[in-house]
């Protein structure tokens, strides 16, 4: 999927009806924003310990295919979101790839902070304090490839995205 508009829900509903449900037996979960831990925001500029900058993100929800609401999503730090603070920035999505976790490419896993395939599988499926508790190597995940990250969006841009997602 290559999102082009701020609101892609019409296209997503068609995609779910003609492909995702019949072929994968799953429903779609639409992300209206992205939540990241603090270290991911640092990685947009400085990079991860693996030497790569944050240029993408894996998304997972059991029995669902996760897709972005549209071309741009507000990005929040998890604890700041809970405290109802403003977003840290806006992520522009270049494309979305959907596959089993164990088929994520080297480029995709490096751009989300993992060292290698073994590290990805351990952190996503076995690590005790992992975020996704029911993820397996065969689980269907979505990878959002970022085209851009704007850490200083205008109030107008934020308002436009917030209003688009309320409809």
3-state secondary structure of 31: strand
Predicted confidence (pLDDT) per residue in 16-74, tens digit? 999 999 988 999 999 999 999 999 999 999 999 999 999 999 999 999 999 999 999 99
Domains and CATH numbers, the chain: 9-160 (2.30.130)
**φ and ψ at residue 34, rounded to 5 degrees:** -120, 135
Which residue has 């809970």 as its token pair? 82
Tell me the C-alpha distance between 112 and 131, whole Å: 14
pLDDT at 165: 67
3-state secondary structure of 130: coil
Tell me the C-alpha distance between 126 and 100, whole Å: 16
Q: What is the mean pLDDT of residues 155-164?
A: 91
Which residue has 């925001």 as its token pair? 41
Pairing of strands 89-100, 72-77: antiparallel
Residue 167 has pLDDT above 80, yes or no: no
151 pLDDT band, cuts 50/70/90, is: very high
Predicted confidence (pLDDT) per residue in 99-149, tens digit? 999 999 999 999 999 999 999 999 888 888 777 888 999 999 999 999 999
Predicted confidence (pLDDT) per residue in 64-99, tens digit? 999 999 999 999 999 898 888 999 999 999 999 999
pLDDT at 130: 75
């Amino acid at each position: 999927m290559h999102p082009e508009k701020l609101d892609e829900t019409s296209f997503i509903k068609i995609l779910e009806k003609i492909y995702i449900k019949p072929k994968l037996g799953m429903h779609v979960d639409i992300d209206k924003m992205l939540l990241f831990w603090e270290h991911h925001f640092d990685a947009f500029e400085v990079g991860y310990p693996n030497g790569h900058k944050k240029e993408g993100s894996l998304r997972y929800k059991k029995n669902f295919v996760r897709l972005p609401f549209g071309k741009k999503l507000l990005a929040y730090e998890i604890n700041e979101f809970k405290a109802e603070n403003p977003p840290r920035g806006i992520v522009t999505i270049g494309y979305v790839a959907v596959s089993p976790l164990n088929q994520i490419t080297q480029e995709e896993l490096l751009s989300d902070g993992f060292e290698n395939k073994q590290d990805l599988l351990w952190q996503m499926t076995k690590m005790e304090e992992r975020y996704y508790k029911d993820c397996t190597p065969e689980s269907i995940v979505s990878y959002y490839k970022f085209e851009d990250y704007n850490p200083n969006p205008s109030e107008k841009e934020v308002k436009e995205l917030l209003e688009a997602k309320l409809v």
